Amino acid sequence: MRRALGLFGVRLAAVLALAVSAALLVDYTGAPTYCGPGSGCAVVRGSGYGYVLLAGLPLPVPALGMLGFAVLLGVALSRGLSRWVPLVAALGGVIGLGLFGLQWLEIRQLCSLCVTVDTLAVLAAACGVLVWRSSDLGQELGLRRGAWVALAVLALAAPLLWPRARPAPPVPVGVQKLYQPGKINVVEFADYECPFCRMLHPQLQAVVASYPGKVNFTRLNLPLKSHEFARGAAEAQVCARSQGRGDAMADQLFAAQDLRPELNRARAKELGVELGAYDRCIASGEADRIIESESRILTESGLQGLPTTYVGARTIIGAQPEEVFRDAFDRAERGDGERGVPAGVYWLITLSLTIAVCWVGRVRRATL
């Protein structure tokens, strides 16, 4: 009985952790859905610890968490591998404690969803101790194995599909003012020193180019204070823009390894910018005023990360895969994005499916 209880606890913790990790992944890869602007989740996500570079690509930590809990659940459901449950669960518990400590001691902010996942990892480790200390094979407790698999699929699918099912969150008014009727409207907020902005730039250019004559593209500046030369680069782009060379200057800045002001001035000269007007633009503070005005559009509505790109009714955070942008462009071209399923209806359906799976998949006790 002790072993069956331990396995039940491990499985339940893993399924719940899969659901919360999926919600976290949504916030890491798109418009924040489960945590609001200014929350601890947003601080942790933007701290630099929210992503792991793998082969040069940023991999969200929640994706690794989903993989880890899927492995734990698979081991806990396998008859042949169940002896490894205590070890796998203990490893997850140690990682959970470590991530909690990172938030508490280093980032000094707590992400509620992250803490929930970390707590579930520790609880799974505690339940794993029951499995380790018992040699009794016992019988299944609560749900059959197939029901656990169905719950895991539902735990992943419901949070991941909600952003597509729900009505699109409103686009900031300042962004909407830049939209043109009948066009695929794209507004990008970027920082020229931001590695993910640099990563996205050629990809987004390629997507825009594949819709010739259909896209109204606007690039706005939001230099981060943590980037030493980002402000000067934004000023250079704004001053080049005033002479019709803004896009060409942006191309140069995204590709440059050194963004010092004197080199930006040399780039402006190469692009045919009249340097007298360029210098006056920089010295007068006009570029600064424009940058502040552009930045406020996003910061006042809740900055979640850079780059932030609005495509029609959709908000995309970060350097997402090309197919994400192509899907958003296609939806904007069709005028999609305003329709959706009300939250109450969606989550009632999810709850009903969960109850149905538990009822159908419950372990029935033999009666005398």
What was the pLDDT predicted at 40? 83
Give the pLDDT of residue 132.
Answer: 81
pLDDT (tens digit per residue) in 284-329:
999 999 999 999 999 988 787 889 999 998 888 888 889 989 999 9
Q: Quick one: average pLDDT of 224-245?
A: 95
Domain shared by 103 and 15, yes or no: yes
Report the CATH number at residue 220.
Answer: 3.40.30.10
* 338 vs 226, higher pLDDT: 226
Q: What is the per-residue pLDDT for 51?
A: 85
Give the integer Cα–Cα distance in Å for 207 and 201: 10
The verdict on 19 and 137 lying in the same domain is yes
CB 276: neighbour CB atoms within 10 A? 8
Domain check: are 195 and 326 in the same one? Answer: yes
Q: What is the span of the domain harbouring residue 320?
A: 173-334
Same domain, 120 and 241: no
Task: Specify the higher pLDDT residue, 167 or 312.
Answer: 312
* pLDDT reported for residue 366: 45
Answer yes or no: do 111 and 236 share one domain.
Answer: no
pLDDT in tens, 79-90: 888 889 999 999
Q: What is the mean pLDDT of the chain?
A: 90
The CA distances from residue 366 to 2, 360, 363, in Å, are 20, 16, 10
* The length of the chain, given as a count of residues: 368
pLDDT of 136 over the 90 cut: no
Q: For the purposes of burial, counting CB atoms within 10 Å of the CB of 256, is it exposed (0-12), middle (13-18) or buried (19 or more)?
A: middle
Least confident of 136-140, 163-167, 179-183, 357-361: 136-140
pLDDT, mean of residues 30-50: 77
51/198 same-domain check: no
For residues 180-187, give the mean pLDDT: 96
pTM: 0.63
> Is pLDDT of 344 > 80?
yes
Q: Name the pLDDT band for 150 (thresholds 50, 70, 90).
A: very high
Helix (H, G, I), strand (E, B) or coil at 185: strand
Total number of domains in the chain? 2
